[in-house]
Structure 1
Amino acid sequence: MAVSGQRTRFAPDRGLTRRMVTTMFLIGLVYVGFTGLLIALLGRAWPLVVVVSAGLFVAQFWFSDTIAERAMGAREASPEQYPQLHGAIDRLCALADMPKPRVAVAVNDMPNAFATGRKPEKAVVCVTTGLLRRLEPEELEGVLAHELSHVAHRDVAVMTIAGFLAVLAGAITRIGLWGGFRGGGRDQNAAIAALVIPLVSMVVWAIGFLLTRLLSRYRELAADRAAALLTGRPSELASALTKVTGQIARIPSEDLRRAQPYNAFYFAPALSAKEGASQLLSTHPTLEKRLEQLGRISTELGR
């Protein structure tokens, strides 16, 4: 989603951008409607909801990179420790005309990568040791270009804002039930609100969840396309996708379950082959859809 104020050479995809903007608009529309309803129903309790919700959002937005790094066991890696990794990122950043993010490595056999950070200057790109061990240099560059596209287009900030609606819905339900409705037995309006708001919150959570997953899938397709056009080697990215997805399916189920809460960050979701085939609400498009897009790009570049 080309919303970054900083211009890079990553190629935009106007069709995907329109779909992402539309999805973000719908998420915002639901958010505004939900907030208006809460103010109307909560009465004097609404300032508490606003303050607590704003605090949660700021914490989630400001510390998202640190939280993700620590949760996934990433450690910053120096050029002396990983010269080939840093060399690849240096080349891609020069090609894309963007600042170099911090580079981190997670000691993990699951082959994967992720990027996080609320803006390019605060970003980090992390790869696992399992990915470094399994991919050829050209395949690794394709994966890194995909992650750098997320950084350049501020996808982490976009997804944090989009995903916060679901968090807000749950938080407001708890705050409202604890603070605003304790006098529900004496006040008919409070009693009605105590019944209506949890129901509305659940509906809002479901809508926010579905729209955010849709946005995430668009985001992954856009990053694939931008990476393929930047490197000029969509076949190498396709090879990396096929290899990573196949290898992830062989990782023990217990390890995959521990990684699944962070699927939205990953290059490929931590799912078994069976789960991947039945995942209708995935954070990522299917492998087939991603490969089909890369095949079309390869044809375009060959003309």
Structure 2
Amino acid sequence: MFSNFKLKASMMASLGAIIGATTLALAIILMFVDAPILLSIALVVPFFLLQWLFAPTIVEKAYKVEEADPQEYRQYHETVERIARQSGIEKPHVMIADMDLPNAFAYGNFRSGDKVAITTGLMKRLEWDEVEAVIGHEIGHLKHNDSTYMMVLSILPALFLVLGRMLFYSSIFNSRGESKPIILIAIASMVFYLILQICIMYFSRLREYYADRHSANTVRNGDQKLASGLMKISNGIDSIKKQESQRKRSRTATRKGTSAMMGGASPLALSMKPLLIADPDVTSGSLTNRHQINEYAEKDLSLKEKFSELFSTHPNIKKRLRALEL
């Protein structure tokens, strides 16, 4: 689906379009109103910097993450060290998340150091060679500095959201008869916020393809292993959803719906889905063999799937399987 050149070109073009559109939109706003852009920046940037600074602590609290014991998880440590060496980066901290949701994620900053985490649910459901490919994907995120890219880009739409609200409230208290044009610009700013969010989600999906490709290039038969692992993750999520549905029907765990879906994670974890290797809200049904997976990958996306992907940080799994060239 994507050659390495096409993938990198798409990411560069997407990044350039986001930055260019943001600059143009700010220039247009300044042409019509004396917008408090510096004040908006002063409000937004510190918030995101603090969020980034404390993100590792928040992630570990939300997903019940602890350092993986070197003896108990010896194979895990050795795999991370080997793939990190092949990737040309230092070995990240090796973490384990005590939750049934089969998933994995990479996170960290200069304060905490880079970290890779897999869940106990992932280890329970996947063969080790599939776990190896998942680790390759997560180390790809660290090598590509994806968390930094996404943190910086996420500031841009937030800037327009804050700016739009400030202009809207300014128009309410405006006493010089200029409220109408200010309101229109405020609305335009908020609309651009939504457009920018969609563009950044597209960029995030490209980074997921890029991490998939890294796994395929650094793990032996990584494309096949990762494809198989992604399907098992999807099947595991689907199984957890069905269990949740049964609990709701029996009315024995009405208040445990959210935590059941996230395999015991706190509700805070729901806001951190972009970290995961697969979106826990999207499943593919139960596919158990290579033939079924190949058939599924070749199916066209439904209108619902296309619309859902538009607002997702992860590509539809059918497209990820195709990109892995099964």
Structure-2-length-normalised TM-score: 0.77
Quick check: 1:285 aligned with 2:324?
no
Contact residue 102 and residue 124 of structure 1 kept, 8 A: yes
Gaps of 5+ in 1: 1-11, 297-303
Partner of 2:235: 246
Query: Which amino acid letter does the alignment assign opposite residue 228 of structure 1?
Result: A
Task: Answer whether contact 1:143 1:237 (CA < 8 A) is retained.
Answer: yes
Preserved CA contact (<8 Å) 2:7 2:206: yes
Q: 1:52 and 2:62 equivalent?
A: no
- Report sequence identity in percent: 28
Shift of 1:59: 2.4
| RMSD of aligned residue pairs (Cα, Å) | 2.7
Distance 2:17 2:211 in 1: 22
TM alignment of 1:84-103, pairs within 5 A: 84-103=75-94
Match for residue 210 of structure 1?
Answer: 198
C-alpha spacing 1:56/1:136, structure 2 compared with 1 (3 Å)? same
Q: Partner of 1:170 in structure 2? A: 161
Aligned to 1:24: 15
Moved over 6 A (4+): 274-277
Q: Residue by residue, what CA displacement relative to the aligned partner does 1:197-252 show, whole Å, maximum 9, x if unpaired? A: 33122211221121111111111111111111111212211111111111111113
Q: Secondary structure in 1 aligned to 2:95?
A: strand
The CA distance in 1 between the partners of 2:197 and 2:182, in whole Å, is 23
1:228/1:237 contact within 8 Å kept: yes
Contact 1:117 1:157 in 2 (8 A): no
- Structure 1 SS opposite 2:106: strand
In 2: Cα distance, 1:40 partner to 1:49 partner: 17
Query: What code does the residue aligned with 1:280 have?
Result: E
Instruction: Quote the Cα distance in structure 2 between the aligned partners of 1:76 and 1:113.
Output: 14
Return closer, same or farther for 1:217/1:47 CA change in 2, 3 Å cut-off: closer
Aligned-residue offset at 1:173:
2.7
What whole-Å deviation, never above 9, does each CA across 1:60-108 have from its counterpart, x for those lacking one? 4434433333333322333234222212111211222210112222111
AA partner of residue 315 (structure 2): P
1-side partners of 2:203 and 2:75: how far apart? 33
What amino acid sits opposite 2:196 in the alignment? G
Question: Aligned equivalents of 1:45 and 1:117: distance in 2?
Answer: 33
Structure 2 residue runs of 5 or longer lacking an equivalent are 245-257, 286-300
Return the alpha-carbon distance in structure 2 between the equivalents of residues 250 and 137 of structure 1: 20
Q: Which AA in structure 2 matches 1:293?
A: A
Deviation at 1:135, TM superposition (A): 1.6
Q: Secondary structure at the match of 1:285?
A: coil
Question: Is 71-80 or 19-28 further displaced after alignment?
Answer: 71-80
Task: Evaluate the alpha carbon distance shift between residue 60 and residue 26 of structure 1 in structure 2; reply closer, same or farther with a 3 A threshold.
Answer: farther
Within 5 Å, give how 1:39-188 maps onto structure 2. 39-40=30-31, 43=34, 45-118=36-109, 122-178=113-169, 180-181=170-171, 183-184=173-174, 186-188=175-177
The 3 A distance-change label for structure 1 pair 283 and 40 is same
Q: After TM superposition, give the deviation of residue 20 of structure 1 in Å.
A: 0.9
Q: Using the alignment, how far apart are the partners of 1:231 and 1:120 within structure 2?
A: 29
Please give the alpha-carbon distance, in whole angstroms, between the structure 2 residues aligned to 1:60 and 1:33. 27
Q: Does the 8 Å contact 1:269/1:284 carry over to 2?
A: yes
Deviations 1:163-221 (A, max 9, x none): 2222222222333445x44631x1233x1354023312221122112111111111111
Find the residue that maps to 1:122 and give its secondary structure.
coil
Query: Partner residue of 2:250?
Result: none
Q: Distance in 2 between matches of 1:119 and 1:126?
A: 17
Q: Give runs of aligned pairs for residues 253-264 of structure 1, distance below 5 A.
A: 254=258, 255-256=260-261, 258=267, 259-264=269-274
Matched, 1:267 2:277: yes
Q: Pick which of 272-281 and 283-292 moved more.
A: 272-281
Corresponding residue pairs, total: 282
Q: Is the Cα contact below 8 Å between 1:249 and 1:271 reproduced in 2?
A: no
Match of 1:7 in 2: none
2: distance between equivalents of 1:139 and 1:206?
37
TM-score when normalising by structure 1: 0.82
The CA distance in 1 between the partners of 2:25 and 2:164, in whole Å, is: 12
Q: Distance in 1 between matches of 2:27 and 2:58?
A: 31
Match of 1:220 among 193, 208, 211: 208
Q: 2:186 aligns with which of 184, 198, 201?
A: 198
